[in-house]
Amino acid sequence: MDSLTQIVLGAAVGEIVLGKKVGNKAMLYGAIAGTIPDLDVLASHFTDTTKALAFHRGFTHSIVFSVLFAPLFAWIVSRYEKYKDFKGWAWLFFWAFVTHPMLDAHTTWGTQLFWPLDLRLAFKTIFVIDPLYTLPFLVCVILTMTQKRVAPKRRFYNKLGLILSSSYLAITILLKGYTYMQFKSALEDQNITYSELDTRPSPLNTVLWSANVDTEDAYLLGSYSLFDTQPITFQAYPKNHHLLGPLVEQKRIQRMIRISEGWYIISEEDGALYFNDLRFGLLTFEPGSTDFVFKYKITQDNSGVVELTEVDKNPRDGRKLMGDLWARVKGN
């Protein structure tokens, strides 16, 4: 999830663990701890694109990281804070660390909670930014901060925020199940033979859902809003995996294929090859568009080393997507 959401979650967790002992300091340290796992994004400054993507939401988002680093941060804090309970600080950092990837596991990117096992949990029930999850939670955390350390209302507001956010997360799981069945029924009605169906919420909401469908030679992309009145339609995108040729054996290409979980197409534009990650869909709802959210240009130097460089997004595309998204959410 986004940084604000993880700050709010970390603060609420910190309050539960040590709020009665140290008041708002528990929320402060919980908020800080809630952001620490995302520092893995700094890897992009020290390595190539594929390694940075593979590292993201890896070790720092694991139970192993939480177990190893919670005592370290607890020792540091207990050295200079008046409250010296090492065990209490350790539990605060552990739970703030571990709840971060537990929430991230519900997003499309997922997380390697059980690192070093090569298993990425991605339930794909909530978008990385969802105001309906974050804003009520944020209001409750702010109200909590305004109460005295031992005030009953402080406990009430904090628990209310956790209950509201957790209930919404549970609802997203039910919505995913319902919309999955809608896509499945549409495929059956249209006599489409497929091997795999993958669904996810669209940006900023859980009303509009998208689907990737794996067929023999192409991927089908479709969308469904809870307000739709017309049948679901699917747009075919040829896989074009053959365009990679011998490049498919390159280590970085293989790594990207694993990262995308096999959901990718290769496109050729102006003589250049592009790796398009289908898991996050398109920047537009226009039929036939190849403006994928995550698109990487494939290049090869004279020594044969392959590089994948993410294509920069145009801010105008983002603004257009927001308008198109709102129109599509309201139904077809």
Residues 117 and 20 in one domain: yes
Residues 325 and 226 in one domain: yes
Whether 143 has a pLDDT exceeding 90, the answer reads: yes
Q: Where are the beta strands (DSSP E) in the chain?
A: 196-201, 208-214, 218-225, 234-238, 264-269, 272-282, 292-300, 306-310
pLDDT, the chain, mean: 94
Range of the domain at 311: 190-332
Strand 272-282, strand 264-269: pairing: antiparallel
Q: How many domains does the chain have?
A: 2
Tokens read off for 213: 């469908």
Residues 121 and 241 in one domain: no
Q: What is the pTM of this model?
A: 0.92
- Tell me if 288 is assigned to some domain: yes
Q: Give whole-number Cα distances, 271 to 52, 176, 242, 303, in Å.
A: 27, 39, 15, 20
- Give the confidence band of 237 by pLDDT, cuts at 50, 70, 90: very high
- Give the confidence band of 133 by pLDDT, cuts at 50, 70, 90: very high
In degrees and rounded to multiples of 5, residue 33 shows phi and psi of: -60, -35
Each residue's pLDDT tens digit, 171-205: 999 999 999 999 999 999 999 999 999 999 999 99
Residues 16 and 133 in one domain: yes
Residues 140 and 271 in one domain: no
Each residue's pLDDT tens digit, 301-322: 888 889 999 998 877 777 778 8
Residues 241 and 143 in one domain: no
Q: Where are the beta strands (DSSP E) in 166-228?
A: 196-201, 208-214, 218-225
In a 3-state reduction of DSSP, which class is residue 246?
A: helix
Tokens read off for 156: 């009430």
Residues 93 and 202 in one domain: no
Tokens read off for 121: 């949990």
